[in-house]
Amino acid sequence: MNRKVKNIELNRLSPDAFKHVQKLPLCLILDGIRSLQNVGSIFRTADAFAIEAVYLCGITGTPPHKEIHKTALGSEESVNWFYEKDIVTCLHNLKRREYLIASLEQTTESTFLHEFVSSKPIALILGNEVDGVSEEAIAASDICLEIEQFGTKHSLNVSVSAGIALWHISQRLRNKV
């Protein structure tokens, strides 16, 4: 009989086992995310897809924080994260380590997410809820990625966008699409 799986049956990793598991060659850079709830939700998604790290830049809040914990539900302790005040320094360091720097932003030269492929490890920048990715981060990016949209609103919620982009890129990295 088809029934819901109990949490224990999911056999999820312990935070300690997670530290040692192989990660996807993919990290996130949060470029001034204002809402701690969005930060927490992004941690939860980063955990689910086992990405390498999350870089918190500028005004982005950092763990430990009660508001982040409410939506991260403990994933802020499993996911590898760093705070780097200056995003340009952060991106410069990732470039030296051969990462492709990709901004999730609608620009005059953006590539649709569904057409994106990369042979290099990927550093994906997510921007502020109102202003999007900063001009300096876009200038330092190798590519801008856009989620094709068909409705009336200009953009998606940033933690929803992060989920879509992490899903799609991880599907590519795992050769599922």
* Residues at the contact surface with its own copies, assessed by CB under 8 A: 1-5, 7, 10, 12-15, 18, 21, 41, 44-50, 71, 73-75, 78-79, 105-110, 114, 132-133, 135, 138, 144, 147, 149-154, 156-157, 159-164, 167-168, 171, 176-177
**List of residues 6+ apart from 19 with CB closer than 8 A:** 78, 80
Q: How far is the CB of 94 from its own copies (least distance, A)?
A: 19
Residue 31 CA, distance from chain mean position:
11
Nearer to its own copies, 60 or 161 (CB): 161
Q: Which is nearer to its own copies, 68 or 144 (CB)?
A: 144
Give the nearest distance from C-beta 127 to its own copies in angstroms. Answer: 9
Q: From residue 117, how far is each of 66, 77, 104, 157, 170 by CA, in Å?
A: 37, 30, 14, 24, 11
Nearest distance, CB of residue 1 and its own copies, angstroms: 8
For the CA atoms of 31, 72, 94, 168, the dihedral, rounded to the nearest 10 degrees, stands at -90
Query: Closest CB to its own copies among 26 and 56?
Result: 26
Determine the distance from the C-alpha atom of residue 149 to the mean position of all C-alpha atoms in its chain, rounded to a whole number. 20
Classify residue 120 as left (phi > 0), alpha (psi -120 to 50) or beta.
Answer: beta
Closest approach, Cβ 143 to its own copies, in A, equals: 9
Report the residue number, 15 or 89, with the smaller CB distance to its own copies.
Answer: 15
